[in-house]
Amino acid sequence: MGPVDAKLAELLGGILKRYSKEAIFWALYIGAVANALVTIVPVRPSNVEILQKSIRFEARLLKVPDEKDSLQLSISIHPKILRFVDVEELSSRFKSILKNGDKKPKKKTSVIILPLTQE
């Protein structure tokens, strides 16, 4: 992120903090999910069914005794699309967005990318 964008993010973060301590984390999290969606499906599908058959997101809160709860995001991608996705890059970018510059995320998070199985 460039210096101007970093300053803008800092100022917007200040506004969010006034309303909720959690707001910045959730804004970054939703941004990371949106980034993953655009990376995997870069062109708007002609109908919603195509999108539903291409990608699925599922978030779970994992309770671990004596540790912070962990938010796990599973991204299931249709195998024909998954062949063209750099899984390591996508996972790395997701973590980088949540890191918010040099700051450690407020919540423990993980992302799992796997083939979508049709039900």
DSSP β-bridge partners for residue 12:
none
| pLDDT tens for the chain, residues 1 to 119 | 677 877 887 788 788 888 887 888 888 888 889 999 999 988 888 888 888 889 999 999 988 788 788 889 999 999 999 999 999 999 988 888 777 666 676 678 889 999 998 76
The CATH number linked to 65 is 3.30.300
Provide the domain count of the chain.
Answer: 1
Q: Which domain does 80 fall in, by range?
A: 3-115
Pairwise CA distance, residues 64 & 41, whole Å: 33
Pairwise CA distance, residues 37 & 55, whole Å: 8
